Amino acid sequence: MIADWLKWLWGSGGGWTVRVAAGVGIFTALAIVDLRRHGRGATRWKEYLFLLACVAGTIAYAFANDMVTVTISPTYYLVHEGLPPDTPNVRAVAAIVAIKGASSVGLLLGAALLIANNPRKRKHRPQLSYRQLAAKMGYPLAGAVVASVVLGVPTALGWVDGLFGVTSAAERSFACVLQIHLAAYVGGGLGGMAAVVSILRRRRKLPRGP
């Protein structure tokens, strides 16, 4: 019973909706408590707003990316979701895949940037502003784009057909989309690490507090 429930929670669209609703509810409650305790000095709501912006930006990129890749190979999304070939409106399927996948990635990236910018009482390191922090999200987005081009273009042009055992145009399109998605995760991850390093270096250059 419990195993089935966990499988539904983590592997279904309905479970994803429940997880999102629970997360939003928890963050909202924490922000309200912080606001009541500290009044104008409350900062937690700003962190949550930043996380929301990171999630929104990541979803926007993933949506644009998947609208391109579903044009290249609709079959990829049908296979990915285990749907029959005659499934209507594959673009809607791709949109759902983008939202579900990017929301978690955006949350992780945003959390990593906030942790890198977290004040350290012993070292008295000043923090970057949220505007400066938001600019660092360009690192993972740029990394995803560059990596997708580097892996996607050679696959689309048939330069690596032998490597993937491609024997038809449909298989090449499928392989191209697979490479683009893989590259987006790898490039985005590397870009996220670069953003964290950039934040830490930038903070070291700022004058220390008392």
pLDDT in single tens digits along all 210 residues of the chain: 666 666 665 556 676 677 777 777 777 776 777 777 777 776 777 888 899 899 999 999 999 999 999 999 999 999 988 889 889 999 999 999 999 888 888 988 998 999 899 876 656 678 899 999 999 999 999 999 999 999 999 999 999 998 888 889 999 999 999 999 999 999 999 999 999 999 999 998 877 655
Which residue reads 């983590």 in tokens? 10
d(CA 131, CA 134): 5
**Token pair belonging to 116:** 């890198």
Phi-psi region of 206 (alpha: psi -120 to 50; beta: other; left: phi over 0): beta
Contacts of 40 (CB under 8 A, 6+ apart): none
Determine the pLDDT at residue 199.
95
Determine the pLDDT at residue 11.
59
Three-state DSSP at 72 gives helix
**Dihedral angle, C-alpha 37, 38, 39, 45, nearest 10 °:** -90
**Dihedral angle, C-alpha 55, 56, 57, 63, nearest 10 °:** 110
Q: How many CB atoms lie within 10 A of CB 56?
A: 13
Angle among Cα 151, 141, 50 to the nearest 5 degrees reads 155
| Backbone dihedral angles phi then psi of residue 43, each to the nearest 5 degrees | -125, -15
d(CA 147, CA 97): 20
Determine the pLDDT at residue 121.
60
d(CA 115, CA 196): 9
Q: Which of 193, 189, 161 is nearest to 175 (CA)?
A: 161
**Token pair belonging to 53:** 């912006």
Residue 133 · residue 115 · CB < 8 Å: no
